Amino acid sequence: MTTSPSPSESRHRRAFTLIELLLVISIISIILGMLVSTVRAVRRFSRQTITRGEIKNIEAAWKQFYTHYQYWPNAENIGGVLRTPDVGDAQYELLAPLARMLAGSNITDIVGDPGGITPYNADKIAFLELSRFNDQADPVNAWGRDHTIAPVGKTKPNTYVVIFDADGDNEITVKLPLPDGSTTNIVLFRSVAVWTENPEYSVGTAAGDGPQRYFGSWME
């Protein structure tokens, strides 16, 4: 013979079950919060790793280009690429024409009469194939189009910048833009360097406390 629980026992069991449910929900919420934070950190680390690898690959590709042709391209003469107004080293955004040149296209100099046109990559050697591009076919870093505001001193977001030792002194000056419109200069004893800006960097972050602002091929 079975007996039914008394009303007081039923109320006690329902109250206890509700407490358990709230406890489980709280635990799940904490776990989900930890997972979201971990996923974001993993994605950030992955993007940084990809970008570091790509800038070193781009630098190596331009070194191979120079080894084969014995010159750096005058990119401002091929159209659509602007040079930093500096005497000596040539600093350009790595836009579509330069990317096509690295990928094996014979890009020609648009300056001068037809008889004086200079071909770049006349042998159509594929030094490097890049994989991420914006709507204008310009190579972009691992953040792609997530960041839509162009960093200071650049015309497009998430693009790479390449600096050639145009004057042949085996020394280049990298000009990194600052929020106030000025630049910080880094002198490197090398023939070519590549850098890009980190869109996850927050202005005002103390050094070592958050994502670094720039990724450069000279950085470890």
**pLDDT at residue 36 in the model:** 78
Structure tokens at 155: 């015309």
Q: How far apart are CA 174 and CA 193, in angstroms?
A: 8
More confident residue, 184 or 110: 184
pLDDT value for 59: 95
Q: What angle do CA 82, 112, 70 make, to 5 degrees?
A: 70
Asked if 177 and 151 count as a contact pair (C-beta separation under 8 A), the reply is yes
**Residue 58: predicted pLDDT:** 95
Give 132-189 pLDDT, tens digit per residue.
Answer: 888 888 888 888 755 444 554 555 668 898 999 988 888 888 888 777 777 788 899 9
Q: According to the model, what pLDDT value does residue 189 have? A: 93
- Mean residue pLDDT of the chain comes to 78
* Across 117-145, average pLDDT: 84
Paired strand residues for 187: 173
Residues 6+ apart with CB under 8 A from 76: 82, 83, 92
Residue 11: the pLDDT is: 52
| pLDDT tens-digit series, residues 48-76 | 888 999 999 999 999 999 999 998 888 77
| Contact present, 141 and 57 (Cβ < 8 Å) | no
Classify the phi-psi angles of 106: left when phi > 0, otherwise alpha if psi is within -120 to 50, otherwise beta: beta
| Residue 197, strand partner residues | 214
Please state the φ and ψ torsions of residue 133, each to the nearest 5 degrees. -140, 155
pLDDT(215) > 80: yes
pTM, to two decimals: 0.76
179, 213 Cβ separation under 8 angstroms: no
pLDDT higher than threshold 80 for residue 100: yes
How does pLDDT run across 7-43, given as a tens digit for each residue? Answer: 555 555 555 577 777 887 888 888 887 787 788 788 8
- Position with higher pLDDT, 193 vs 203: 193
Pairwise CA distance, residues 71 & 163, whole Å: 13
Q: What phi-psi label fits residue 79: left (phi over 0), alpha (psi between -120 and 50 degrees) or beta?
A: left
Return the closest-CA partner of residue 99 out of 71, 70, 140: 140
What pLDDT score does 178 carry?
Answer: 74
User: How do 119-120 and 107-108 pair as beta strands?
Assistant: antiparallel
Q: What is the pLDDT of residue 44?
A: 82
